[in-house]
Amino acid sequence: MSSSATTPVTVIGLGPMGHAMASTYLDHGHRVTVFNRTPSRADALVARGAHLAATVDEALTATELVVLSLTDYDAMYALLGAADPAALAGRVLVNLSSDTPDKARAAAAWAAERGATQLTGGVLTPPSGIGSPDTSTVYSGPRAAFDAHRATLEVLTAADHRGEDPGLAALLYQLNMTMFWTALTSYWQAVAMADAHGLKAADILPLAVDALNLRQFLEFYTPRVDAGDHTGDVDRLTMGAASIEHVLHTATDAGVDGALPAAVRGIFRRGVAAGHGADSASSLVEILKRPTA
């Protein structure tokens, strides 16, 4: 990664992610200003040389580049909405808070009304990956602002600008979270089922790693899905429906919660009822494009 150690930066929000970001900037010699509603969270950073701003206004005016690491955009409004609008003028707000694409677009417009520029970001790593060149963050918003601060952003992770639309990075992040949480929840389900049979998580670790390595399936299905080709030459939805039925019975027979496999079974059943039984399970994409009645 490239770096510009002379660029000062403000980090607002010192949860695990914000704390890791501020710490990484200190590691790289940046002058770091921090702000958090609970000031004590900054103690370790201040001990290393960070400046703790007493107010949001002070935090904003300390630097041009302001990194926001907050729970969501409502938390951003709660903090920045109380600031003097003049403190926002001229700032580049790198909003790494999680929220919807529409809320990211609305926040970008809100910032612009106050003379600030928002770069939306989606961090695709846990806090432990901050500072590693092997991790990445997707950004969207004004390209000029991204280019001007890319070196400083890349101190944290590799930086990938995807477009001018401020909602795009938020969308990509939520797509990532859709896959992440669903896959991880399936792992928790498997651990619960294994436990009911006297197995530990360690006993199924190799199986879990292999099962969740879906690259070959994704690479196979992607061109077909994009072409609208759901031919059942390799798999059929009825096969998948039978399989998830077996999963559900295995869970309930062991006295384990079956809500997750039951929900998946419901989706498969909708696909079969819609006439896709002889098609590939990828035909569920078409079912999931529409909400349930």
Q: Measured between alpha carbons, how far is residue 82 from residues 25, 40, 89 in Å? A: 27, 21, 14
- What per-residue confidence (pLDDT) applies to 292? 83
pLDDT tens track for 185-219 = 999 999 999 999 999 999 999 999 999 999 999 99
Domains of the chain (ranges, CATH numbers) = 9-164 (3.40.50.720), 172-288 (1.10.1040.10)
Task: Quote the tokens at residue 26.
Answer: 């200190």
Angle subtended at Cα 34 by Cα 28 and Cα 38, rounded to the nearest 5 degrees: 135
Q: Measured between alpha carbons, how far is residue 273 from residues 240, 250, 277 in Å? A: 14, 24, 8
Query: Which residue, 133, 134, 140, 142, is CA-closest to 160?
Result: 140
pLDDT tens track for 97-124 = 999 999 999 999 999 999 999 999 999 9
Q: How many CB atoms lie within 10 A of CB 266?
A: 12
Residue pointed to by tokens 């660029």: 7
Cβ 60 vs Cβ 66: under 8 Å: yes
